[in-house]
């Protein structure tokens, strides 16, 4: 979705969006800088447009968090960084073909799985009973993820507050008269980070538990102190069952000794 939205925005006067897939044998292909260890076989997913394209300088910064060529209020600069993180965590890599005025194509390469798929539990299994009545404060700058998280948790009985950034979350917490049992916050957001928000909330409400979520690579989020021992973390993308299980785990965990 991030790639498709970017392609749409790159064609303000209309154009052609092309999504295609292919099997790719990369044994004889050169390894580009930053691609890491190479598998032999990949599935390639390409998203291309006939839009404005990008010069070399823009391409050099594409996957940096908060880098955007869009106007104020029209983009966070997190979409491509999220795409990069997901592909990297899956053992794949990305190649970009673009030229100013001649469109852009992102090619995502995913390593072919050589073993049988593991069947996950069905919705009728234990995860279907993971419910609660606690109050959860969801802090997420992406509106779609924010709304989806609220829907998942509300359907499981939780009382859910939502905030689009750290400042909004602090204001909600100050106004909320009853207890907030869990803060579920993105790690990397414009302005205040998830870790800074958690520290400020814990200073006023030591009993509040925190669950961090992020779509970035381990190296990126480690810089924010979120991979330290004892810190609760959930990797994006996650399933409704993953979210329900992790929320329950954090709420039911024994409190840390003082």
CATH architecture of 126-252: 3-Layer(aba) Sandwich (3.40)
Banded model confidence at residue 29, pLDDT cuts 50, 70, 90: confident
Q: How far apart are CA 137 and CA 146, in angstroms?
A: 11
Mean pLDDT along residues 124-137 = 75
Higher pLDDT, 41 or 254: 41
Provide the pLDDT for residue 124: 47
Domain residue spans of the chain = 2-111, 126-252
Report whether pLDDT(128) > 70. Answer: no
Q: How far apart are CA 23 and CA 44, in angstroms?
A: 6
Higher pLDDT, 38 or 134: 134
Mean pLDDT along residues 54-63 = 77
Banded model confidence at residue 165, pLDDT cuts 50, 70, 90: very high
Third-level CATH fold of 2-111 = Heat Shock Protein 90 (3.30.565)
Provide the pLDDT for residue 109: 92
Q: Same CATH fold, 126-252 and 2-111? A: no
Report whether pLDDT(130) > 50. Answer: yes
Q: Using a cut of 0.85, tell me whether the model's pTM lies above it.
A: no
Mean pLDDT along residues 218-241 = 71
């Amino acid at each position: 979705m991030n790639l498709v939205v970017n392609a749409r925005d790159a064609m303000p006067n209309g154009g052609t969006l092309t999504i295609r897939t292919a099997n790719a044998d990369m044994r004889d292909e050169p390894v580009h800088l930053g691609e890491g260890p190479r598998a032999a076989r990949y599935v390639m997913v390409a998203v291309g447009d006939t839009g404005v394209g990008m010069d070399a300088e823009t391409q050099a910064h594409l996957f940096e968090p908060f880098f955007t060529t869009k106007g104020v209020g029209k983009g966070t600069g997190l979409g491509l960084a999220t795409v990069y993180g997901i592909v990297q965590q899956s053992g794949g890599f990305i190649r970009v073909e673009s030229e100013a005025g001649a469109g852009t194509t992102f090619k995502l390469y995913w390593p072919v799985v050589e073993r049988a798929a593991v069947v996950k539990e069905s919705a009728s299994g234990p995860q279907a009973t993971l419910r609660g009545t606690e109050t959860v404060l969801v802090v997420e700058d992406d509106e779609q993820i924010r709304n989806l998280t609220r829907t998942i948790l509300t359907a499981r009985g939780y009382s859910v507050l939502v905030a689009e950034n750290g400042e909004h979350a602090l204001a909600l917490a100050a106004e909320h008269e009853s207890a907030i049992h869990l803060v579920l916050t993105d790690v990397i957001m414009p302005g205040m980070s998830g870790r800074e928000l958690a520290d400020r909330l814990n200073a006023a409400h030591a009993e509040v538990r925190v669950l961090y979520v992020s779509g970035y690579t381990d190296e990126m989020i480690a810089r924010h102190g979120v991979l330290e021992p004892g810190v609760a973390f959930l990797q994006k993308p996650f399933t409704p069952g993953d979210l329900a299980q992790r929320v329950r785990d954090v709420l039911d965990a024994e409190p840390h000794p003082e």
